[in-house]
Each structure stands twice: as structure tokens, then as C-alpha cells.
Amino acid sequence: MARIALVTGGTRGIGEAICTTLKEKGYTVIANYGGNDVKAAEFTQRTGIPAVKFDVSDFDAVSEAITKIEADYGPVDILVNNAGITRDGTMHRMSFEQWDAVIQTNLASCFNTCRAVIEGMRSREFGRIINVGSVNGQAGQYGQVNYAAAKSGIHGFTKALALEGAGKGITVNAIAPGYVDTDMVRAVPAEVLAKIIKTIPVGRLGKPEDIANSVAFLVGDEAGFITGSTLSINGGQHMY
């Protein structure tokens, strides 16, 4: 039977590419999204992949949704924690709400989803968890103390959970994309983006597929000896 993959924030951008790539590889894929019903419906129509709405920052909602997903489709073998947001601002202007929204959506979400699947993975002695970090969690970024803290936290979370899962057939890895051409990056002012592209040695933004192919590798059986690692996928922008 095909393994089941749940991809949070799977209906757009990098998440969509991860969903379609995993589907092409034969996995049964379920996408999650946060609130954009129109984009989610278009995604399902385009890809044939079901999209389930829940807020990854809400512990109870995540727990309830994953229980239902497992009842409807079967146990989640592969979890890709991809949902993420930005709420940029320099520290002296950042509100608590901006800080908290990013920490809850980008970091606490990983606890919420992993907590909901980890016992099942342990009992079946198989699991693949991929947490989507960021180059800005590795290197820091002006105007992003919230985002950099959350993404940096993901890298520590990944290593600790990798240690816990290693004896139980569960691998836990992070990826750290550089700048990728999605809605999130299209929101960056054009002149700022032009400067950023100049700092990328390969001379272009990443494509969602660049990220998705790495995720497909890490969730495969052939990657069973890779755990606790962070794979940088950034066109050489930051060598960590």
C-alpha cells in the first residue's frame, strides 16, 4: 500500500511542488492549508490531491484534523512541516502579534503536528519527518527576528527529535531553502529582491521544484541513514 504523506501549507508555492512531486513518486498525498479556500480548491482541481483546512498553530485543531485524516486515509508515514508565514519588521517596530504569529505558525506548528503523528510512527517503527527551515534561520535577516528565530528553532527541534526517533525507524531532517520564487518572495519589494538575487552565486531564485526534489529524496527508503541533518538548498547563497 502507498505510504501516506501529509504536507502542511501544501496548496501553494513550495508546498504544492512537494505535494505533486510526492504524488508522482507514488505516495498518497494530503495537503493542508490555512485559510485560502479558493487557492485550495484550485489546487485540488489542478492536482487531484485533497486539501484539508486547519490552522497549524492551533494544537487542538491539528490533533483533531490529523486524527480524522488517519481515520479517512490511514496512518501518516511522512510529515512535511512546510506551512509558514512572514510578518516582517525591524525589532523597534515589531508588535508582539507579529512576533507571536510567526513563532506559532512556523515553529510551534512543528510541535503540534509531530505530537499528533509521533506515537503512531513509533509503534509502526517507520516515519519520515521533514521540517522546512530557511537560509534566514541559518544566517539571520534584517527585519526578521521573528522569522529567523522560528526557523533557527526548527533546526534544533529537528536534531532533538531525530535522536528520539533514530531507534524507532523515524528519520527527522530539515531543509533550508534559499530564496524561492513563490508568493512569499513575490511580496518582497522588487528593488530589494534584485539586490538579493545578486547575492545568489547561481544567479537566480530557486524554483519550488528544486526544493521538492530534495524532499522526495529525504523521505525515500534510500535516505534511511540520513537523520538530524539540515540540507541547504540555496544556490550557494549561504554555505553553512
Catalytic residue positions, numbered: 147
- How far apart are CB 14 and ligand NDP at their closest, in Å? 4
Applying CB under 6 A, does 20 fall inside the site for ligand NDP?
A: no
Cβ atoms 21, 212 nearer than 8 A? yes
Looking at the Cβ atoms of 37 and 125, the one nearer to ligand NDP is: 37
The grid cell for 102 is 510567526
Cβ partners under 8 Å of residue 132, min gap 6: 14, 80, 81, 82, 84, 154, 174, 175, 177, 211
**Grid cell 504524488 in the structure block, residue:** 23
Cα-Cα-Cα-Cα torsion 139, 237, 171, 34, nearest 10 degrees, comes to 80
- How far apart are CB 225 and ligand NDP at their closest, in Å? 25
Query: Binding residue for ligand NDP (CB under 6 A) from 183, 192, 224, 236?
Result: 183
Amino acid in the structure at residue 84: G
Binding mask 65-104 for ligand NDP (x = CB under 6 A): -----------------xxxx-------------------
Looking at the Cβ atoms of 10 and 165, the one nearer to ligand NDP is: 10
Query: Binding residue for ligand NDP (CB under 6 A) from 20, 21, 28, 32?
Result: 32
Size of the site for ligand NDP (CB under 6 A): 30
Site for ligand NDP in 119-158 (CB under 6 A): 132, 134
Q: State which H helix or E strand residue 176 sits in.
A: strand 170-177
Q: Which residues pair with 173 in a beta bridge?
A: 130
Phi, psi dihedral angles at 121 (to 5 degrees):
-60, -40
Cβ partners under 8 Å of residue 140, min gap 6: 148
Q: Is 4 left (phi over 0), alpha (psi -120 to 50) or beta?
A: beta
- How far apart are CB 175 and ligand NDP at their closest, in Å? 8
Applying CB under 6 A, does 229 fall inside the site for ligand NDP?
A: no
Query: Binding residue for ligand NDP (CB under 6 A) from 23, 39, 159, 207?
Result: 39
Looking at the Cβ atoms of 55 and 77, the one nearer to ligand NDP is: 55
- How far apart are CB 228 and ligand NDP at their closest, in Å? 19
Binding site for ligand NDP (CB under 6 A): 8-9, 11-15, 32-36, 39, 55-57, 82-85, 105, 132, 134, 177, 179-180, 182-185
